[in-house]
Amino acid sequence: MIRFQARFVLALVALALSPSLPAFGAAPLIDDEEAAAEEEEKEPKDRYLVVLGADIHTGNGEVLRDGRLLAKNGKIVAIGYDDFEVPGLDYDREVPADERGYELEILDASNVPNGRVYPGMVAFSSSGLLGGGGDYRDSIDMFNRNMLLGLAAGITTTGQTSSTAKLKRYVPGNFSRDYDFDGVVIGGKTLSTVSWGTAASKRSAREKLAGAAAYLRTYRQWQVDVKKDKELKEPSKSGVDSTMLAVLRGEIFARFSADYQDDLSGIARVAMEFGFRPVITGCREGWVVADELGRAGAMAVLTPRTRRSKDEQLVAEGGSSIENAAILHSHGVQVAIIPGSRGIDLGGIAGRDIMHLPIEVGFAIRGGLPDDAGLASVTTVPARLLGVGHRVGTLEVGKDCDLIVTDGDLLHYQTFVQYTVVDGDLVYDKQDELYFAHIRPRDDSLLAPLVPFDPAEVPIEEEGDDEGEDSEEGDDEDE
């Protein structure tokens, strides 16, 4: 792609440009070579990415048919049909790349049949995609095969034990700058596990919540009283559970791991009583008590293909249901979906691991989940749970330019990711990697099947603005 097919693509962008977008007015214009050289030493050049030639699914419900997206330094700065202005780009002459005061890459996806642009997917959790452990700024393996396969699957962000990280791959030649270690981790711990397995743990959680709630009441009263009496001491936090305090203050999510309906009902009750939104992983029998969970504002992380028979000793409904995600969603529970296997499984049985996340969503759709909720379950909802919803999960101006270009509906079982972009850098191109290049190769690929040459069927070429060698031959237009 990017590979900047200089003339053609530049001409195309140039045509699209108009001097109307004020946002770029402030960007530095570099006039002469000396200044450019100086500028280079001081700070890296601005980096632009234009994505065009495909339908843009923003993840908010909007679809821009054959829309365009512009990113600057890894952030989305414009989406739409408007012409984009890239400052400093001289439309009247072809400026060689090394003379430009900025980097420009153009991802022209018109070579992808049924091309669609989606936000990069967010895996609520995964294992082994980043290669390292602990602090990924120090330990990320940017050459990791599983990271490549994760990007090939369309995942650009993943939750880890206590942080949220990006699949930032190192692609030699693409970068004229250092690898951005600091950009790897984009979020800290947002979920705190509350034990809810036994009667004792439930009682303990409730007591801690009650203690925290009582403290907050005292604290709020103190906030009022201290205005009259400046000497009044802040109430002591001694004995107050700091995690539950953070939960009630909305600073962190309380995460419960629960599957049975009585456990789930209990979580809903305690959440409503103390006023917080619980995050429930598992949630197998959520469909039985979906109305309670919906009222409590619960959010669920589930695997649609979970299987468990109903407990025959119980009269009440129970067990797993393929309709779980759909029923929870219809009751207002936000649903994030993860597959049964969180890693990349190369054992030969495909369709059940993180590499097949959209197929897992497909099973929720089988159970009745609407398509848009299916997309949200692997983009906006996990992003929200991981506390990075302001940066990733949708394609919006101001957010990170993490996107994928697919060859069809993301949730269709045959769809492949053709390109993956993280922070405005193309980090995966299906035709450039070994793994999937041979499957339905793109026409622009060396692997594409040869079309037998039939002189009678050669179309008469219509030349564009760029001068081609045979431009005189294509002149059958009326004048």
Contact positions toward other proteins, by CB under 8 A? 145, 305, 307, 309, 317, 321-323, 346-351, 359, 362-363, 365-367, 411-414, 434-440
Which one, 9 or 327, has the nearer CB to other proteins? 327
Which one, 145 or 295, has the nearer CB to other proteins? 145
Which one, 3 or 438, has the nearer CB to other proteins? 438
Q: Is 189 exposed, middle or buried (0-12, 13-18, 19+ CB in 10 A)?
A: middle
Residue 321 CB, shortest distance to other proteins, in Å, is: 7
Which one, 59 or 362, has the nearer CB to other proteins? 362
Distances (CA, A) of 374 to 30, 59, 119, 346, 365: 46, 11, 13, 25, 7
Which one, 154 or 424, has the nearer CB to other proteins? 154
Which one, 345 or 402, has the nearer CB to other proteins? 345
The count of residues in the chain is 479
Residue 301 CB, shortest distance to other proteins, in Å, is: 20
Structure tokens at 140: 């990320």
Residue 413 CB, shortest distance to other proteins, in Å, is: 5
Q: Give the helix/strand (H/E) hosting 215.
A: helix 199-228
Which one, 332 or 408, has the nearer CB to other proteins? 408
Q: Cα separation of 376 and 355, whole Å?
A: 17
Which one, 44 or 351, has the nearer CB to other proteins? 351
Structure tokens at 439: 């499957």
Q: Cα separation of 35 and 30, whole Å?
A: 7
Residue 355 CB, shortest distance to other proteins, in Å, is: 9
Helix axes 199-228, 261-274, angle to 10 degrees: 10
Could you please report the per-residue DSSP string of 165-195? EE-----TTT-SS---GGGSEEE---EEEE-
Q: Cα separation of 23 and 17, whole Å?
A: 14
Residue 410 CB, shortest distance to other proteins, in Å, is: 12
Beta strands in 99-202 (DSSP E): 102-108, 116-119, 121-123, 155-159, 164-166, 185-187, 191-194
Give the residue carrying structure tokens 């909720």.
Answer: 373
Three-state DSSP class for residue 429: strand
Which one, 296 or 411, has the nearer CB to other proteins? 411
Q: Is 441 exposed, middle or buried (0-12, 13-18, 19+ CB in 10 A)?
A: middle
Q: Give the helix/strand (H/E) hosting 265.
A: helix 261-274
The partner residues of 97 in beta bridges, in order of sequence, read none
Task: For residue 183, count other CB atoms closer than 10 A to its CB.
Answer: 15
Three-state DSSP class for residue 439: coil
Pairing of strands 191-194, 185-187: unpaired
For the chain, the straight-line distance linking the first and the last C-alpha, in angstroms and rounded, comes to: 35
Residue 367 CB, shortest distance to other proteins, in Å, is: 8
Which one, 203 or 307, has the nearer CB to other proteins? 307
Three-state DSSP class for residue 449: coil
Distances (CA, A) of 103 to 2, 21, 89, 174: 11, 19, 10, 11
Residue 427 CB, shortest distance to other proteins, in Å, is: 19
Residue 148 CB, shortest distance to other proteins, in Å, is: 12
Q: Is 399 exposed, middle or buried (0-12, 13-18, 19+ CB in 10 A)?
A: buried
Which one, 234 or 317, has the nearer CB to other proteins? 317
Q: Cα separation of 92 and 111, whole Å?
A: 27
Residue 320 CB, shortest distance to other proteins, in Å, is: 10
Structure tokens at 322: 């393929």
Residue 411 CB, shortest distance to other proteins, in Å, is: 7
Which one, 187 or 367, has the nearer CB to other proteins? 367
